[in-house]
Amino acid sequence: MSTGKGKEDYSKLLVNDSLLPDIFLVRYAQELSRNALLLYLWLNMSDKKNGFTDDDVKKLKIIPEADISAVLAELMSACLINKKDKTYSFDDLKAREVGDYIQAAAARGNDPDLTGLMSNEKERKILADSISSTFYQGELPYIFYRLIDKCLNEYKFDSRVVYKLFEEGYDQFKHRSLQQMENMAASWYRKGYTDIRSLEKQLEINKRTKSLIELTGKLMRKRLNGLDLDRITGWAEDLGATEELVTLAFKENEFRSNLTLKNVGDTLTKWHDQGIKTAEEAARFCEEEHKENKRNATRRKAKSGSTWRTGEEAGIGGADKEETEAKKTSEGIKEEKVILPQDDLIPDDILDMFGDSDEDN
């Protein structure tokens, strides 16, 4: 039977709150391993928040003892905790972020505004408000103001490119992760997608690549590996392939007993080298190619002499034909002379014939 004091302790545990800054969820939480996230949350909930040791972590029995060193190292690498001697402490995430922002703004020669934008730049505020209302239900986390500022000032993105960055992040379920959003922005910067025209061209290629991957998976009826994905990406980026072209390329290779993506890629490459851009052009090219292959096969067959041919088919005619017929006639006459019955008439028969004549006389 529990005591009254026990009930009070139990109730206190139920209603206790563990406050975490928003920046932890946006910047750090989604990048941590399961054990690191679990340990960080439990340490925040415990009375060890202001300082703890390895033994304190072991006593919690939240994660396997063998993993403790690696997990604590992960939290230190993420700058979530610090270590002095044998004691760990939590870093003040909000204070560090604000300090970093002020320092970055000062380095650019601007007076920092803690809303995340320069106070005299109305265009940026309009952009941030639009991003906030469209992708964050009107509550854009502070840390993303800094990302917008970085894109505009450091990467020199067109404002439409910045908006497109958050739109892509939203569509790919990355918009809540600062790390993934920063990685995408850095990737666009390295590839030179700073203006909307170059960016939209690449986004169209990305969209087409995705559709080609889905189509190829269905046609091959197998799970595609990394090499397959690289090939298909090349079809979209280097060959300008569309779903219609890829479908036709598969059809052109269906006679093979072991169809591979290399076969399909070779066909697409051949069409690309011929300047073919549409399925209709490819179909006409294939039709002419098939006709030419058939004509070549007929010529090879005639030259091989593998079938019986008449004299006319072999090029024999005219005087040659008459000469041949005359020769056959001459040989026939000679044979008739050889088989005349004169060798069967013997002298006795002839004498008998004359003898009979004398008696009659």
What is the residue extent of each domain of the chain?
A: 12-91, 95-194, 215-298
Architecture in CATH of 12-91? Orthogonal Bundle (1.10)
pTM for this model (two decimals): 0.49
Token pair, residue 19, equals 């406050």
Cα 142 from Cα 146, distance rounded (Å): 7
Instruction: State the pLDDT at residue 274.
Output: 94
pLDDT along the chain (361 residues), means of 10: 53 59 76 89 76 88 91 88 86 70 61 49 84 89 86 92 92 88 93 91 90 95 91 93 96 93 96 94 94 87 62 49 53 47 49 49 42
Phi, psi of 159 (to 5 degrees): -60, -30
In terms of Cα–Cα distance, which of 157, 156, 174 is closest to 166? Answer: 174
Cα 20 from Cα 303, distance rounded (Å): 86
- Quote the DSSP letter at residue 18: -
Phi, psi of 88 (to 5 degrees): -100, 150
Q: How would you write 195-244 as a 3-class SS string?
A: CHHHHHHHHHHHHHHHHHHHHHHHHHCCCCCHHHHHHHHHHHHHCCCCHH
